[in-house]
Amino acid sequence: MAALSPFHLAFPVTSLARARAFYGELLGCLEGRSSDEWVDFDFFGHQIVAHLAPGETGDRGTSAVDGHNVPVRHFGVILTMPEWDALADKLRAAETRFVIEPYVRFKGLAGEQATMFFMDSCGNALEFKAFADRAQLFAK
């Protein structure tokens, strides 16, 4: 299998200062290029770009998954289990309000995964996952 290529994602924010505080300070993403309208972040090796577009932010739709209402529009990254545990602890310590509290989804089934959902400071939903066995990532 070839090495994964970094993805690029542009998304709306209500405030670049709030985006910098959330992605830069809380999540520890290094900042790249920026302007008065946007800012790049190194999101775990991927490039995300926060664009100032207040009317475009927020999550509206949900989909039922494993007994939870999952925000349809969301993004995130798959971590190792120790990284996921450390992030969950860090977010709890920062008193982050979870949309879906950290838990293990699909226990005992193909694709078993740790997951958590929370909102950034501008109303965008994020999901962070981890698999005890990363080979289960695309298991049916």
Q: What is the mean pLDDT of residues 71-87?
A: 91
Tell me if the domain spanning 62-136 has CATH number 3.10.180.10: yes
pTM for the full predicted model: 0.88
Please give the Cα distance from 81 to 115 (Å, whole number): 10
Q: What are the tokens at 122?
A: 């501008």
What is the pLDDT of the chain when averaged over all its residues?
Answer: 90
Residue 3, pLDDT score: 76
Please give the Cα distance from 21 to 40 (Å, whole number): 13
**What pLDDT, in 10s, does the model give residues 23-77?**
999 999 999 999 999 999 999 999 999 999 988 877 677 777 777 777 778 899 9
Domain with CATH 3.10.180.10 in the chain: 8-55, 62-136
Tell me if the domain spanning 8-55 has CATH number 3.40.30.10: no
Please give the Cα distance from 36 to 10 (Å, whole number): 15
Q: What is the dihedral of CA 97, 106, 61, 55, to 10 degrees?
A: 50
Q: What is the mean pLDDT of residues 84-105?
A: 94
Give yes or no for a contact between 51 and 11, defined as CB atoms under 8 angstroms apart: yes
Residue 2, pLDDT score: 63
Residue 59, pLDDT score: 63
For residue 107, pLDDT over 90 is answered with: no
Please give the Cα distance from 128 to 125 (Å, whole number): 10
Please give the Cα distance from 140 to 124 (Å, whole number): 28
Give yes or no for a contact between 42 and 2, defined as CB atoms under 8 angstroms apart: no
